[in-house]
Structure 1
Amino acid sequence: MRTIKGPGLFLAQFIGAAAPFDSWKAITRWASGCGYVGVQVPTNDARILDLDAAAGSRDWCAQWAGEGSDNGVVVTELSTHLQGQLVAVHPAYDAMFDAFAPAAVHGKPAARQEWAVEQVKKALIASHNLGLTAMASFSGALAWPYVYPWPQRPPGLVEEAFDELARRWRPILDHAEECGVDICFEIHPGEDLHDGDSFEMFLDRVGHHPRAKMLYDPSHYVLQQLDYLDHLDIYAERIGMFHVKDAEFNPTGRKGVYGGYQPWLGRAGRFRSPGDGQVDFGAIFSKFAAMDFEGWAVVEWECCLKHPEDGAREGAAFVKSHIIRVTEKAFDDFAAAGTDRVANRRLLGLDR
């Protein structure tokens, strides 16, 4: 067993134009002040991380990470959620997802995909330069518009989509192997990898690549009505990251899983700050302790009600209260009786 590391904080929801959220030094001081000892860092905002510099120089990485350490936090992982999304985009989403890429590739899907692949590869190199062993990402989606089969999906449509998704990601996964870094895909609605079945379809097509892992976030399973505790048992060997994010699902006679096109506040399924929703984090942290998880408990704040700064402060304390310092001995060791093989065989009646 192993004690999970934490608390960590995913910075993506906090970076902004106003201090202390507008620079690396300031935001790490703020995170430490909230009680965090680690931060998960998105790679799409140069105010926080210069990805080209990080991929190009270990010395630059050491200086940058050192500034965070001086403020009391270490870097837990890098994230390429937005760039990973652009590795595979269905044309229906082209206009909306262009916002994730530079203006030079807007309206140019092939150029945007090429840019995204290079970004993900740079982030893998940067992760290696920082001494990290895992990176968060999204898979992107080609089949998502067809998730609900009406009209009936043509035979082979989903298979073709996953064949193509694997074709795009296999070279990136091979690059991840060269860097010694796992790619942890967040299992998330809107991605082709949105549950266990879809992850397994992808895994089959990339030859069960050892660098293809999961980012486990129970909030997305609550909203899908998927058993998030059983999921941990099934995929323990493939789970490389953990987002501490809460959610609630309260269906009515008017709305259920699909949300009725309502804003977050009006949906049956809503994200909440840790401890304010329905996720059984006591059971989750127990399972992580038992499965010898090597990673971090990282708060991802998303809540339709609570102020983000309050959610961040409360989230650090919440994780601290749930981390299980694993025991090094059995609780009944006090009653242990010394024995040996001869005595064991006698107890079993084997040498009479």
Structure 2
Amino acid sequence: MKTLKGPGLFLAQFVGGTAPFDSLDGLAGWAAGCGYIGLQVPTGDLRLMDVERAATSRDYAQELAGRLAAHGTCFTELSAHLQGQLVAVHPAYDTLFDGFAPAHLHGRPAARQQWAVDQLRKTLSAAANLNLPAIAAFSGALAWPFVYPWPQRPAGLIEAAFDELAARWRPILDHAEDVGVDICFEIHPGEDLHDGVSYEMFLERVGNHPRARMLYDPSHYVLQGLDYLANIDIYHERIGMFHVKDAEFNPTGRQGVYGGYQSWVDRAGRFRSLGDGQVDFKAVFSKLTQYGFGGWAVVEWECALKHPEDGAREGAAFVREHIIRVTDRAFDDFAGAGTDAARNRQILGLGREQ
């Protein structure tokens, strides 16, 4: 068993236009003041880091690490969620997802995809220069518009979508192998990899690639009605990252999983700040500890009600209280009998004269 590291904080939801949220140093100092010791940093914002420079210059990457260390923090992982989304975009979402790419790529889906692949490769190389074991990413989605089969899907449609998704990701995964860094796909509605079955479909098509791992976030499973504890039992060997995020699902006679097109605050399923939702985090931390997960417990704040700064401050304390420092001895060691092989045979009655 291993003791989880933390608390860490995913910075994506906190980057803003005013200090201290508009720079890496400002965010690191603020997060440290909230009680965080690790930061998961998105690579798409130049205010936080220049990923191209970090990919090619170990000195620059280590300079970034030193700047975090000056605030008592460190990198937990790098995030390329938005770039991963752009690896595979169904045309129905082209206009909406253009916002994830530079303006000169808007309306140019093929060029946008090439840029995203290049960004992922650079994020992997930057992670290697930072001595980080993994990056986080979305898988993107070609099949998501067809998640509910009406009208009935043509035979082979989903298989073709996953064949193409795997073909796009395989070279990126091979680069991940070359630099020794995992890609942890966040299992997330809106992505083709949105549950265990879809992850397995992808994994089969990339030859069970050792670098294709999971980012475990129980909140996304609560909102799907998926057993988030059994998920750890099934996939613990593939879980490489952990987002600590809460959620609640309260279906009514008027709406359920799909939410009736309502805003987040009015949906039956909604994300909540830590401790305000329904996730049994004592059980989650216990299972991850039981299976030897030694990575970071990273808070991802998303809440329909609470202010983000309050959610962040409370989240650091919440994670610290839930991390289990693993035992170095069995609880009944005090009653050890000090037996050896010969005595064991004697206790069992073996070797006695009949």
TM-score bracket for the superposition, by shorter chain length? over 0.9
Q: CA deviation at 1:348?
A: 1.6
Residues 291-344 of structure 1 deviation map (CA, whole Å, 9 limit, x = unaligned): 111210000000000000000000000000000000000000011100011111
Q: Which residue of structure 1 lines up, in the alignment, with residue 189 of structure 2?
A: 189
Q: What amino acid is the match of 2:243? A: H
Q: Could you tell me how far 1:56 is from its partner in structure 2?
A: 1.4
SS of the equivalent of 2:135 reads strand
Are 1:234 and 2:234 an aligned pair? yes
User: Between Structure 1 and Structure 2, how many residues are aligned?
Assistant: 352
Alpha-carbon deviation of 1:105? Answer: 1.0
Secondary structure class of the residue paired with 1:277: coil
Q: Report the Cα offset of residue 165 of structure 1.
A: 0.2
* CA-to-aligned-CA distance 1:202-254 (integer Å, 9 cap, x gap): 00000000000000000000000000000000000000000000000000000
* Pairwise CA distance, 1:27: 0.6
Q: How does 1:39-54 map to 2 (within 5 A)?
A: 39-54=39-54
Distance in 2 between the 1:257 and 1:186 partners?
A: 19
1:277 matches 2:314: no
Query: Counterpart of 1:117?
Result: 117
Gaps of 5+ in 1: none
- Displacement, 1:95? 0.3
Corresponding residue for residue 223 of structure 2: 223
Provide Cα deviations, 1:115-163, integer angstroms capped at 9, x if missing partner. Answer: 0000000000000000001100000000000000001110000000000
Aligned residue type for 2:100? F
Counterparts of 2:208 and 2:64 in 1: how far apart (Å)? 35
Question: Residue 343 in 1 paired to residue 334 in 2?
Answer: no
1:94-109 alignment runs, 5 A limit: 94-109=94-109
* Counterpart position of 2:155: 155
| TM-score normalised by length of structure 2 | 0.99
| CA RMSD after TM alignment | 0.5
Distance 2:197 2:114 in 1: 28
1:266 and 2:270 aligned: no
Match of 1:303 in 2: 303
Q: TM-score, normalised by structure 1?
A: 1.00
Which residue of 2 is the match for residue 4 of structure 1? 4
CA distance in 1, matches of 2:266, 2:273: 17
| Residue 103 (structure 1) shift | 1.1
Question: Could you tell me which residue of structure 2 aligns to residue 312 of structure 1?
Answer: 312
1:64 and 2:64 equivalent? yes
2:33 corresponds in structure 1 to: 33
Q: CA deviation at 1:349?
A: 1.8
For 1:241, the aligned partner's letter is: M
SS in 1 for 2:171: helix
Give the secondary structure class of the aligned counterpart of 2:236.
Answer: helix
| AA partner of residue 120 (structure 2) | V
Amino acid in the other structure paired with 1:277: G
* Structure 1 residue 350, shift from structure 2 partner: 1.8
Inter-partner Cα distance in structure 2 for 1:116 and 1:188: 19
Three-state SS of the structure 2 residue aligned to 1:148 is coil
Identity over aligned pairs, percent: 73
